[in-house]
Amino acid sequence: MALNISIEQRFLTLLGQLKHMPPCSSRQEAHDMLLLLWMRICEGAGARRQLLNSMRQRTLCAEHGWKNLDKSPCYWDSETTPGIRIYLHANGTIVIQRQGGAQDSEILHFSSHREFVEA
* Band of pLDDT at residue 102, cut at 50, 70 and 90: low
How many whole angstroms separate alpha carbon 111 and alpha carbon 37? 17
Say if residues 21 and 30 touch (Cβ distance below 8 Å). no
Structural domain boundaries in the chain: 6-108
**pLDDT at 104 (0 to 100):** 56
Region 27-34 average pLDDT? 96
Tens digits of per-residue pLDDT, 42-93? Answer: 999 898 999 899 999 999 999 999 999 999 999 999 887 888 899 999 999 9
Other CB atoms within a 10 A radius of the CB of residue 66 amount to: 19
User: What is the model's pTM?
Assistant: 0.83
- Is the model's pLDDT at 115 over the cut of 70? no
- Give the gyration radius of the chain's Cα atoms: 14
Distance CA 23, CA 102 (A): 31
- Whole-number pLDDT of residue 6: 84
